[in-house]
Amino acid sequence: MLQSLTSNSCVRLIQSHKSTWYFLLLVLGYILYLIFGAVVFSSVELPYEDRLRQELRTIRKQFLQDNECLSEDRLEEFLEKALEASNYGVSILNNASANWNWDFTSSLFFASTVLSTTGYGHTAPLSDGGKAFCIVYSVLGIPFTLLFLTAMVQRIMIFSTRRPVMYVSTRWGLSKPLVAMVHATLLAILAASCFFLIPAAIFSSLEENWNFLESFYFCFISLSTIGLGDYVPGESFNQRFRQIYKVGITVYLLLGLVVMLVVLETFCELQQLKTLRKMFYLKKEKPQDHLAILENDHLAFTSVSHRNNSTSLREDKTKNVPFISVPELASPGGDDPMIG
């Protein structure tokens, strides 16, 4: 009997806090996904890193042997300076000295990566004034960009998603969730073709050292705003029409970001995903429940007030009534002459 009551109470406890348990499972799944990613990246990339380190040690040792007049400390100092400049986007190589990082088109490209939070990291402000301006520019510009993108996506969604889905479901009498699912799938395929596959083919033909996979990798890393910075277009030595090329890349990134947000918003409006999200969200307090709580509180307060008022009235009446002495009745069989 006791065991049955305990099991029933546990079931009621789980059902009453179902969203909390789902949320804890979501957190656990996310942590496991992070660990899974770390294990895979480590197992795949660590051998390549070790091989590259060995190659660099061999080249460095061979260079010192071929140039005995150069001390190891001077070489270390030179390499540190070169690597520090490279971190700021300045290369010491002769074939890269012709490209400027802070001409107008390159600065426009940098501003777009800052405002879109892509941040490739291949170019960074060198001066203290540039760093301070970058902070102020980002604090004002990133919320401005979010407002701009939200307003644009909201207007595009009316013509790209809501009206087509409503028209098809009304015209042919189809289920609206089914039409929305098919529409979202077709929209995702179209966006992937126009902003991933076709640009990847273009980049692989314009960039000498990029193959199709590396170009597709750049498109995905850029439009997902990850921005690792290991692949940046327009930085090769003999890049033709570099200024126009940089402006075109800036336009591509901004348009691609808008399209990605439209696709994500389209999927978020699917009924299936809404149901899935509700599993992990806290239940909102319904207005009628809130009103019922307020009414119960008001009734409780009113009853207490009436009880206190009635008690005080009784006390006041007791205080105001004068004291009247009542004569005692004689007991039967006493000396009263009226009783025979």
**The pLDDT value given to residue 97:** 52
Distance CA 237, CA 235 (A): 7
**The pLDDT value given to residue 188:** 95
Distance CA 301, CA 336 (A): 58
CATH number of 100-281: 1.10.287.70
85-141 tens-digit pLDDT? 777 767 776 555 556 778 888 899 899 999 998 888 777 888 889 999 999 999 999
**The pLDDT value given to residue 261:** 94
166-175 tens-digit pLDDT? 999 999 988 9
Residues sharing a CB contact under 8 Å with residue 102, sequence separation 6 or more, in sequence order: 110, 123
Is the model more confident about 147 or about 106?
147
Distance CA 165, CA 158 (A): 10
Is the model more confident about 49 or about 84?
49
- Asked if 268 and 161 touch (Cβ cutoff 8 Å), the reply is no
Q: How far apart are the first and last CA of the chain?
A: 76
**The pLDDT value given to residue 325:** 43
- Asked if 257 and 152 touch (Cβ cutoff 8 Å), the reply is no
pLDDT > 70 fraction of the chain, expressed in percent and rounded = 75
183-227 tens-digit pLDDT? 999 999 999 999 999 999 999 998 888 999 999 999 999 999 888
pLDDT at 266 over 80: yes
Task: Return the biggest CA–CA distance within the chain.
Answer: 152
Q: What is the pTM of this model?
A: 0.72
For the segment 77-90, the average pLDDT, to the nearest whole number, is: 78
Q: What ranges do the domains of the chain cover?
A: 19-68, 100-281
- Side-chain-side CA neighbours of 84 within 13 Å: the count stands at 7
Q: Where does the pLDDT of residue 287 fall: very low under 50, low under 70, confident under 90, or very high at 90 and above?
A: low
**The pLDDT value given to residue 35:** 95
The rounded mean pLDDT for the chain is 80
**The pLDDT value given to residue 204:** 92
Length of the chain: 340
Q: Where does the pLDDT of residue 11 fall: very low under 50, low under 70, confident under 90, or very high at 90 and above?
A: low
